[in-house]
Amino acid sequence: MTPEKKVKQKVVATLKKFGAYYFYPVMSGYGNSGVPDIVACYQGRFLGIECKAGKNVPTALQERNLDAIKKAKGIAIVVNESTIQSIEKILTEIGESNAEIQNSNQ
């Protein structure tokens, strides 16, 4: 198994733990190149997650897609083995923020 695949598996395990919807986009002749490795939705928030191994960085095309997600008010993140815990932190913050909104509407 490649190091990047291990990162993807850890991200998916975290997404499952939180009950997030996710999928791996399949690039074909009709798809857009540079789309993040994992696309997810958690409590109404869109996430684009690019997984890298070690010190690898996104390509210019991947960066453009991540920037487009941020511009559309989605969450775009690049994770590797040492930053994988940031996914859990983001999902926790989304849950807490939605709980605050729900409480203020009661």
For CA atoms 80, 82, 83, 85, the dihedral sign is: positive
**Tens-place pLDDT, residues 39-83:** 999 999 999 999 999 999 999 999 999 999 999 999 999 999 999
- The domain 3-104 having CATH identifier 3.65.10.10: the answer here is no
| Bridge partners, 38 (sequence order) | 49
The domain limits of the chain are: 3-104
Buried b (16+ CB within 10 A) or exposed e, 11-48: bbebbeebebebeeeeeeeeeeebbbbbbbebeebebb
Token representation of residue 62? 């991947």
Asked if the model's pLDDT at residue 101 lies above 80, the reply is no
Instruction: Yes or no: say if 52 and 60 are a contact pair by the CB < 8 Å rule.
Output: no
Query: Whole-number mean pLDDT of the chain?
Result: 91
Asked if the model's pLDDT at residue 84 lies above 90, the reply is yes
Asked if the model's pLDDT at residue 28 lies above 90, the reply is no
